[in-house]
Amino acid sequence: MKPRIHYTKPSITELEVRYATDAAANGWGEHCYDYINRFEEAFKAHLGVKFAIATSSCTGALHMGMAALGIGPDDEVIMADTNWIATAAPITYLGAKPVFVDILPDSWCLDPALVEQAITSRTKAIVAVHLYGNLCEMDKLLAIGEKYGIPVIEDAAEAIGSIYHGKRAGAMGKFGAFSFHGTKTLTTGEGGIFVTNDSELYEHVLTLSNHGRARGQAKQFWPDMIGFKYKMSNIQAAIGCAQVERIDELTRRKREIFSYYRECLTAIPGLSMNSEPVDTVNGAWMPTVVFNPETGITREILQAAFASENIDARVFFHPLSSLPMFEERRANEQAWDVPTRAINLPSYHDITVSEQDRIVDVLREISSKKITDK
């Protein structure tokens, strides 16, 4: 059996171990927020935003941000049908309804024209999810939001390192949310962060994040509202501090891996990868291949081929409207079709050229076999 190639794993060095060890040994009492504060400062400096709140997950960041915007029962929030459920779940926590619209065939992100068509009197937000490092068309979405007075939220969980027209993903909307799950380019194990340039929204979310206790409240253990418990731990933040110090290295390496795949796979007919339009930088969190329908190459064929070579390739997200807890929307043709002929490729930071070559060989073999079959 050939050695296993995992689809992702974090890049942890002695720096992360040293900071985490220090937090575990000394980060208590009056020092219990030291690494959290340091991490928030470092991340907002990297992103170029005014405010940041470290959280236990991206889901928590989205939940608190949406709650602070006043999203509630019977409201509607527009988002792409193609995504992980973590973006839709907070909408339902608040009693609101996620409205799924179709994706663009090249970026696999929100189709702005369909977003505008989906707006109703109940629409309270638009969530722009930057999928697999690909970027939403933010200029168009922000213009739609301004036209109708609707905030645009950025779910940048998968977009660390992605840049749109000179602005980093997550820094353009009413607020942004990031994930630091162990699969992400920058990790704290679990974790996330809320970011914004809106001081009023920041103060509201800060209060929500601390069980509803406002930071100006003089009474001890006196909550001013019902809040949440979505804090990141000091030890997690310590790992995050080390990761932010290495962020240029981490994002550069992801792009190197993506570029090698793209170079090797260009010659395969009917195959496309993550988009990178002019004046954008794809953070390349998850290199993904999509085969044209004419090739006859399906998700199941890809899964079987990679499994036979002991390679852990990951399926493209199923449409959310195909899940049993949501209303089916087969009219979202791209969202329902693209996942049936796509696969995510392994892309952990220390993947070797020989391992990437093994992955490329599988794709070449599948393609040549299909061509021969025809």
Topology of domain 14-245 in CATH is Aspartate Aminotransferase; domain 2 (3.40.640)
Helix, strand, or coil (residue 121): coil
Ramachandran region, residue 132 (left: φ > 0; alpha: ψ -120 to 50; beta: rest):
left
Q: What is the structure's pLDDT at 323?
A: 98
Can you tell me which residue has the tokens 């109703």?
Answer: 120
What are the residues whose beta carbons fall under 8 Å from the beta carbon of 27, sequence distance 6 or more? 34, 35, 234, 235, 238
pLDDT tens-digit readout, 263-301: 999 999 999 999 999 999 999 999 999 999 999 999 999
Q: What is the structure's pLDDT at 257?
A: 98
d(CA 110, CA 82): 9
Pairing state between β 167-168 and 175-179: unpaired
> Residue 373 above 80 pLDDT?
no
pLDDT tens-digit readout, 33-47: 999 999 999 999 999
| DSSP secondary structure of 75-95 | -EEEEESBS-HHHHHHHHHTT
Q: Percentage of the chain surpassing pLDDT 90?
A: 96
User: Cβ atoms within 10 A of the Cβ of 298, count?
Assistant: 15
Rounded to two decimals, the pTM is 0.96
Can you tell me which residue has the tokens 């992360």?
Answer: 16
> Residue 113 above 90 pLDDT?
yes
User: Sorting pLDDT into bands at 50, 70 and 90, what band is 1?
Assistant: confident
Q: Domain-by-domain residue ranges, the chain?
A: 14-245, 248-373
pLDDT tens-digit readout, 169-220: 999 999 999 999 999 999 999 999 999 999 999 999 999 999 999 998 889 9
CATH 3.90.1150.10 fits 248-373, yes or no: yes
Indicate the average pLDDT of the chain.
96
Handedness of CA 360, 363, 367, 370 (dihedral sign): positive
pLDDT tens-digit readout, 207-229: 999 999 999 888 999 999 999 99
> Residue 316 above 90 pLDDT?
yes
User: Sorting pLDDT into bands at 50, 70 and 90, what band is 369?
Assistant: confident
